[in-house]
Amino acid sequence: MKLKELISRARTCRRFKGEHQLSSEILADLVDHARLSASARNKQVLRFVTIADKDTCEAMNALVVMGGSLTPEQRAKADQHPGGFIVIVGPENLDEFAVIDIGIAAQSINLAACEAGLACCMIGAVKKNEAAALLGLPKDMQVKLVLALGEPDEVRRLVERRDDGSLTYYRDENDEHCVPKISLEEAVIIRK
């Protein structure tokens, strides 16, 4: 698959096939893609926690918000919870470049998951202190970003910006998840 197709397919997913629990080995292999990615000054200050255990997955699921712009009916049902999580952790005071590392690591995992037939939701809306306690993080480590992973159980597709100008994601009449993206003309503001 060409990289642009992979990027286009790697849409955020919030409903998973709940019966498909991911293994620690699969999650670790996804982390390996992040480990090999770019890092500011190559400092590599980020670390990763993988959660394959079903009970810990459920506990983590209760600490995150997925699909804040969706109605409750449009969110995952009890049998559509993620099959695993990867939690990106790091020291409290990350400099601005190290913060960029979080996004790079997350996208590497997202793309690797898509390539493997899985899907991902990057989650900033997490009760960070409670998640740190659940995972038993060392005191000098904080939760930075949570990645929910699993086998997708919803159709997600790219669409153009809506007529009213909105870029908020939405479900269409077929319950397909639509993600508006700006056009290339809007994205490139100067061509010299």
Ligand X SMILES: Cc1cc2nc3c(=O)[nH]c(=O)nc-3n(C[C@H](O)[C@H](O)[C@H](O)COP(=O)(O)O)c2cc1C
Least distance in Å: CB of 57 to ligand X?
16
Which of residues 11 and 135 has its CB atom nearest to ligand X in the complex?
A: 11
Of 55, 80, 54, 51, nearest in space to 66 by CA: 80
Part of the chain binding ligand X (CB under 6 A), chosen from 35-43, 46-54, 62-70, 182-190: 62-70
Helix, strand or coil for residue 134?
helix
- Residue 170 makes contact with ligand X by CB under 6 A: no
Q: Which of residues 11-50 bind ligand X (CB under 6 A)?
A: 11-12, 14
Least distance in Å: CB of 69 to ligand X?
8
- Residue 169 makes contact with ligand X by CB under 6 A: yes
- Residue 133 makes contact with ligand X by CB under 6 A: no
Part of the chain binding ligand X (CB under 6 A), chosen from 9-17, 37-45, 48-56, 86-94: 9-17
Rounded CA gap, 126 and 189, in Å?
34
Amino acid occupying residue 73: E
Q: Cα(first)–Cα(last) distance of the chain, in Å? A: 31
Least distance in Å: CB of 25 to ligand X?
26
Rounded CA gap, 63 and 58, in Å?
9
Least distance in Å: CB of 42 to ligand X?
22
Q: Compute, in degrees rounded to 10, the torsion defined by CA atoms 81, 84, 86, 92.
A: 60
Q: Six-digit token pair at 52?
A: 């394959």
The separation between CA 188 and the C-alpha centre of its own chain, rounded to angstroms, equals: 26
Count residues contacting ligand X (CB under 6 A)? 15
Q: Six-digit token pair at 1?
A: 């698959």
Of 31, 51, 123, 178, the one binding ligand X by CB under 6 A: 123
Which of residues 51 and 66 has its CB atom nearest to ligand X in the complex?
A: 66
For 151, phi then psi, to 5°, come to: -80, 125
Of 36, 125, 133, 182, the one binding ligand X by CB under 6 A: 125
Q: Which residues bind ligand X (CB under 6 A)?
A: 11-12, 14, 65-68, 121-125, 156, 169, 179
